[in-house]
């Protein structure tokens, strides 16, 4: 297979675009496309300060690399979750995030959950009894809370995450299976800032996970290959594998599924947004972040419960 631009041997073939490129032209094409998506969805401008949530995985490191190559003001945020799983998962992912930052002379904020709140994520989950034996619910809650807090406290205009199209299609698939209209209405490349919540954007949302892997390999980015030990057997991985089987038979199926959803949502074809009751948000009396209750937010409630347990235990 030949590169469409130069005729040399191609390294990446994107069947959904009927486009094969050599390594050199692929490494030009990815940032060009990212810039196009940033502008199309009005994610941010060169004048704004961006905080990139960096996990040490391929997508977030690739995103940071691309934004840096495009000349955006992008700093990183690494959250130390305290997950070991027999493979020193958090330790290794932090090492790789710091290595990338050092090699590219980029600013990385490191926040350790255990230092901030007394316990690592698995213990917070165990003590607070959230998440049916797995810490994923607590981890998600803590990450959302901390990313928003830090973006707000440090004066960043926007929070960028490395979600790719496979991530988005898997979420969409899950929410469609259960017709979760509230979640479906919220899904998109940009979640605008509101009521104490920082603007959140996903500049890689139109790239396949395969393409981001290829980008990281071609750029020589060292990333953590192993997934979080708690993610094994997760529903999202199962949905991704199902969608990849579909994609193999029907090239472009994942992209069409996601893009047609965005178009339909924009036109108001899926649900009538006005009919969906919007929850009124209050300010958490402890941390000040938005919450649907008049009392403490879910995160502060969890921390309080953990601290009370530690005192009484």
Partner 1 sequence: MVRLILREKEYEVKPGMTLLSALQKINIVPESVIATCDGEMILDDEILKDGDVVKLIAVISGGMGIATRDSGIVSESRITNSDSRGCRL
Minimum CB distance to partner 1, residue 23 (Å): 7
User: Does 240 help bind partner 1 (rule: CB under 8 A)?
Assistant: yes
User: Does 96 help bind partner 1 (rule: CB under 8 A)?
Assistant: no
**For partner 1, which stretch binds (CB under 8 A), given 76-84, 110-118, 218-226, 256-264?**
218-226
Closest to partner 1 by CB, 42 vs 103, is 103
**For partner 1, which stretch binds (CB under 8 A), given 73-81, 104-112, 234-242, 261-269?**
234-242
Sequential DSSP letters for 144-190: HHHHHHHHHHTT-SEEE----HHHHHHHHHHHHHTT-HHHHHH-SSE
Binding mask 158-197 for partner 1 (x = CB under 8 A): --------x-------------------------------
Beta bridge partners of 80: 112
| Cβ–Cβ < 8 Å for 98, 110 | yes
| Cβ–Cβ < 8 Å for 129, 71 | no
List, in sequence order, every beta strand (DSSP E) within the chain.
Answer: 12-14, 19-21, 49-53, 73-80, 108-112, 158-160, 190-191, 199-201, 282-283, 290-291
Q: How far is CA 261 from CA 138, 178, 185, 269, 275, in A?
A: 29, 15, 10, 9, 19
User: Does 12 help bind partner 1 (rule: CB under 8 A)?
Assistant: yes
Among 33, 73, 213, 309, binds partner 1 (CB under 8 A): 213
User: Does 135 help bind partner 1 (rule: CB under 8 A)?
Assistant: no
Closest to partner 1 by CB, 21 vs 127, is 21
Phi-psi sector, 179: left (phi>0), alpha (psi -120 to 50), beta:
left
DSSP code of residue 4: T
Minimum CB distance to partner 1, residue 1 (Å): 5
User: Does 19 help bind partner 1 (rule: CB under 8 A)?
Assistant: no
Binding interface with partner 1 (CB under 8 A): 1, 10-13, 20, 23, 57-58, 166, 208-210, 212-214, 217-218, 225-228, 231-232, 234, 237, 240-241, 244-245, 247-248
């Amino acid at each position: 297979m030949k590169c469409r631009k130069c005729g040399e041997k191609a390294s990446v073939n994107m069947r959904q675009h009927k486009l094969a490129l050599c390594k050199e032209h692929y490494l030009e094409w990815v940032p060009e496309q990212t810039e196009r998506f940033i502008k199309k969805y009005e994610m941010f401008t060169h004048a704004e300060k961006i905080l990139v949530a960096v996990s040490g995985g391929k997508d977030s490191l690739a995103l940071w690399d691309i934004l840096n190559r495009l000349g955006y003001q992008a700093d990183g945020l690494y959250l130390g979750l305290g997950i070991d799983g027999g493979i020193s998962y958090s330790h290794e992912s932090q090492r790789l995030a710091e290595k990338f930052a050092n090699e590219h002379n980029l600013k990385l904020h490191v926040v350790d959950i255990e230092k901030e709140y007394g316990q690592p994520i698995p213990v917070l989950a165990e003590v607070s009894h959230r998440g049916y034996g797995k810490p994923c619910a607590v981890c998600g809650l803590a990450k959302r809370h901390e990313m928003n807090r830090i973006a707000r406290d440090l004066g960043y205009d926007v929070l960028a995450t490395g979600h790719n199209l496979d991530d988005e299609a898997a979420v969409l698939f899950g929410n469609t299976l259960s017709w979760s209209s509230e979640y479906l209405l919220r899904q998109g490349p940009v979640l605008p800032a509101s009521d104490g919540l920082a603007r959140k954007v996903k500049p890689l949302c139109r790239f396949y996970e395969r393409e981001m892997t290829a980008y990281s390999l071609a750029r020589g980015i060292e990333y953590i290959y192993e997934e979080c030990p708690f993610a094994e057997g997760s529903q999202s991985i199962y949905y991704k594998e199902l969608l990849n089987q579909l994609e193999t038979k029907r090239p472009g199926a994942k992209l069409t599924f996601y893009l047609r959803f965005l178009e339909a949502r924009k036109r108001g074809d899926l649900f009538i947004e006005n009919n969906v009751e919007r929850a009124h948000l209050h300010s958490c009396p402890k941390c000040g972040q938005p919450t649907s209750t008049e009392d403490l937010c879910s995160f502060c409630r969890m921390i309080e419960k953990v601290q009370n347990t530690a005192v009484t235990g």
